[in-house]
Amino acid sequence: MNTAPLLAVDGLGKAFDGLVANRDISFVIHHGEIVGLIGPNGAGKTTLFNCLAGFHTPTTGRIAFEGRDVTGSTPEAAAALGIARTFQIVRVFQSMTALENVMVGAMLRNKRVAEARDRAEEELAFVGLSHRADTPASDLTVSEQKRLEVARALATEPKLILLDEVMAGLNPTEVREASALVHRIHQRGIASIIVEHVMEGIMPIAHRMLVLDYGAKIADGTPAEIAENPAVIAAYLGE
């Protein structure tokens, strides 16, 4: 019944005092889709996330979420509409426990503390951090903090989640677990865009891949197509 794409980005560009971080990027994301977003360092992936989540106002182009124009909205408005994100450099609430971190996310939909706590416990369990619920977030390992950010984002009941390098620095077992987590997010009907340098983590699970280079989209296709795309290979070799 949902024929309109979940997210439609059209001609998006973002410049910082002359430095163009995103240029003329267009793509769509469908409901529940898992989309990988890759590209060399500084390609503009995080900038794109910042535009989608309302942290940056795009210089050009439009962003439509569920058919509604959300270009230049605020982060809090984006979150309310159902766009959640994690941060490449983790930003957990240091003075709170893991559970309390997730509760803050859950409070977007339910301001009652007790109910937000129940919801947060479910999400902690979902990412496998139940045993750390009462641990101060600052005492978690970095990989646990990244998972905590995922739980916190999921607690806002998003329709689209933007994951920025959640697999960076993980060992192979942990990467597999993270891939499984992304798959379970997909099973909940939540679409995800995943920025990742860890190809083994993203290629097997992504339905589609977007590739950025120097701020522009250079490829958009299945992981298999991307792996053979000459422009992509050139971008990575030229790094």
Q: By CB under 5 A, name the one of 88, 110, 135, 229 that touches Mg ion.
A: 88
Residue corresponding to tokens 């001609």: 11
Under the binding rule (CB under 5 A), the answer on residue 86 touching Mg ion is no
**Residue 57 binding ligand ATP, by CB under 6 A:** no
What are the φ/ψ torsions at residue 209 (nearest 5 degrees)? Answer: -125, 140
Helix (H, G, I), strand (E, B) or coil at 69: strand
Q: What are the helix (H) ranges across the chain? A: 45-52, 75-81, 98-106, 113-127, 142-154, 172-187, 199-202, 223-228, 230-237
Residue from 100, 128, 186, 236 binding other proteins (CB under 8 A): 100
Q: Which is nearer to ligand ATP, 41 or 173 (CB)?
A: 41
Which CB atom, from 87 or from 205, has the smaller least distance to other proteins?
87
Question: How far apart are CB 237 and Mg ion at their closest, in Å?
Answer: 20
Q: Is 148 helix (H, G, I), strand (E, B) or coil?
A: helix
Range 41-70, binding Mg ion (CB under 5 A): 46
By the rule CB under 6 A, 180 interacts with ligand ATP: no
List binders of other proteins among 136-195 (CB under 8 A).
Answer: 136, 139, 149, 152-153, 156
Q: Closest-CB residue for Mg ion?
A: 46
Q: Which is it for strands 208-213 and 191-195: parallel, antiparallel or unpaired?
A: unpaired
In the list 2, 16, 138, 141, the residue contacting ligand ATP (rule: CB under 6 A) is 16
CA distances from 170 to 83, 87, 165 (A): 25, 16, 10
Contact (CB, 8 A) for 36 and 223: yes
Separation of alpha carbons 86 and 75, rounded Å: 12
Check residue 167 and report its DSSP letter.
T
Site residues, ligand ATP (CB under 6 A): 16, 19, 21, 39, 41-47, 88
Q: What residue ranges bind other proteins (CB under 8 A)?
A: 53, 55, 74-76, 79-80, 84-85, 87, 91-97, 100, 103-105, 107-108, 111-113, 116, 121, 130, 133-134, 136, 139, 149, 152-153, 156
Residues that bind Mg ion (CB under 5 A): 46, 88
